[in-house]
Structure 1
Amino acid sequence: MARNSTDTKEKLLDAFEILLDEHGTSGATLDAVAAKAGVSKGGLLYHFGSKAELIKGSLERLSRLVDDDVESMKSAGDRLHLYYLETSAEVGTPLDRSLIAANCLSQENADAKNALRKTREAWFDVLNDHLGDPDMAMTIQLIGDGMYFNQNFGLSQDEALAHVKNVLARLGL
């Protein structure tokens, strides 16, 4: 049975992102990625000819996931800002893993830093379009950042979200 090339590429990107999270850029070597994905190094090099290509693939994946997230935000209609906040603290999702990987890469890679900047801008733009107030859009985005931070340190997101929703209701949102 023939292997699906897309599945193999996704396995390799998954392995790369996991290794970045667990060991940083120095631990995400081509050999380690191939081993983690259960693919030969030749198989890895067939799909990604270098670490630079693997990084590019990871950042392209992040862009696709952010585009999908923005579309999901838009489909939430009047609840767009609440959808953003409700999903801000989701960890372990493909988008979360891609964001963590890009953050690890951004310490030494300008393209990764730029990808994170574009991600923030995409979320801000859709929040601003929805709310019609750049200050409120930035405030919602920063609240989402705080909720994500809390979730990553094991603090209760449900309680934080309830507090935020109470304040937003008082503001008419």
Structure 2
Amino acid sequence: MPRKPVAREAVLDAFEALLIEVGERAATLDAVAAKAGVSKGGLLYHFPNKEALIQVLLDRLDGLAGADADAMAAAGEGAAAYFIRTSVWADTPLDRAIVAATRLAEVAHEETRRRFAAIQQRWLDEIAADVGPALAKAVLYMGDGLYFNAMLSVGPVPPGGAAADVDELLAALERLRR
């Protein structure tokens, strides 16, 4: 009798959460099974090994990033403004997938690095279609900087927080477009 897809998603969600919380080395199959509330046999039914879990997590990341790039391309405000505006931590499924996959890239997982490069290139292509190739990398770095700083912030959030930073960067983008 086939297992419910809910169990498979629970295992994948648990793996993602463990990568975020404790990193790749501690995200063992036993830890994933325990966090998902399934037996190790139940986990192995869906994912025969850790690499299979990684591949499905990367597929999830690809799907979420692809949907984001499609939304970026269709954004009325333009791809560049969309990218900057959405480059803040919001605990979305895409945010969680990015951070979890980053933990894999940290340990030099080559497939993860390859997938990140492809995602980044798609984003760069969408931004370049909006503002041209010369400005596209600057926009990419603005968004990456926002995201990175949001992930590292540990102290009190300044008045206006990330929204003020986004507004300042959007204003800078408009000045650069001229």
Q: Same fold (TM over 0.5)?
A: yes
Secondary structure of the corresponding residue to residue 32 of structure 1: helix
- 1:147 maps to a residue whose letter is L
Question: Which residue of structure 2 lines up, in the alignment, with residue 19 of structure 1?
Answer: 18
- The alpha carbon displacement at 1:121 in A equals 0.8
Q: Describe the superposition over 1:6-59 as per-residue Cα deviations: whole angstroms up to 9, x where unpaired.
A: x22222111111111111111100111111111221111111111010011111
Correspondence 1:26-45 to 2 at 5 A? 26-45=25-44
CA distance in 1, matches of 2:64, 2:12: 13
Provide the C-alpha distance between the structure 2 equivalents of 1:26 and 1:70, rounded to a whole number of angstroms.
31
CA–CA separation in structure 2 for the residues paired with 1:12 and 1:137 = 38
Measure, in 2, the Cα distance between the counterparts of 1:103 and 1:170. 32
Whole-angstrom distance in 2 between the partners of 1:43 and 1:159: 47
The equivalent position to 1:171 in structure 2, one of 167, 171, 176, is: 176
Deviation at 1:120, TM superposition (A): 0.8
Q: Any unmatched runs of 5+ in structure 1?
A: none
The 10-residue stretch of structure 1 (29-38 or 71-80) with the greater mean CA deviation from structure 2: 71-80
**2:61 and 2:125 mapped to 1: Cα distance?**
17
State the distance in 1 between where 2:112 and 2:174 align: 36
Question: Which has the larger helix fraction?
Answer: 1
Q: Which amino acid in structure 1 is aligned with residue 171 of structure 2?
A: N
SS of match in other structure, 2:78: helix
In structure 2, C-alpha distance between the alignment counterparts of 1:135 and 1:100, rounded to whole Å? 28
- 1:132-158 deviation per Cα after TM superposition (whole angstroms, max 9, x unaligned): x21211110000011112211335211
Partner Cα separation in structure 2 for residue 22 and residue 141 of structure 1: 26
Q: What is the match of residue 118 of structure 2?
A: 118
TM-score by length of 1: 0.90
What displacement does 1:90 show? 2.7
Using structure 2 for the length normalisation, give the TM-score.
Answer: 0.88
The residue aligned with 1:95 is 94
> What are the within-5 Å matches in structure 2 for residues 54-133 of structure 1?
54-106=53-105, 107-131=107-131, 133=132
- Mapped to 2, the partners of 1:116 and 1:172 lie a distance apart of 27
Is 1:150–1:157's contact at 8 Å kept on the other side of the alignment? Answer: no
Structure 2 counterpart of 1:135: 134
Counterparts of 2:7 and 2:78 in 1: how far apart (Å)?
A: 37
**Count of residues paired in the alignment:** 170
* Unmatched tracts of structure 2, length 5 or more: none
Structure 2 partner of 1:157: 162
1:51 maps onto 2:56 in alignment: no
Query: AA paired with 1:111?
Result: E
Q: Secondary structure at the match of 1:90?
A: coil
Indicate the RMSD between aligned Cα atoms, in angstroms.
1.7
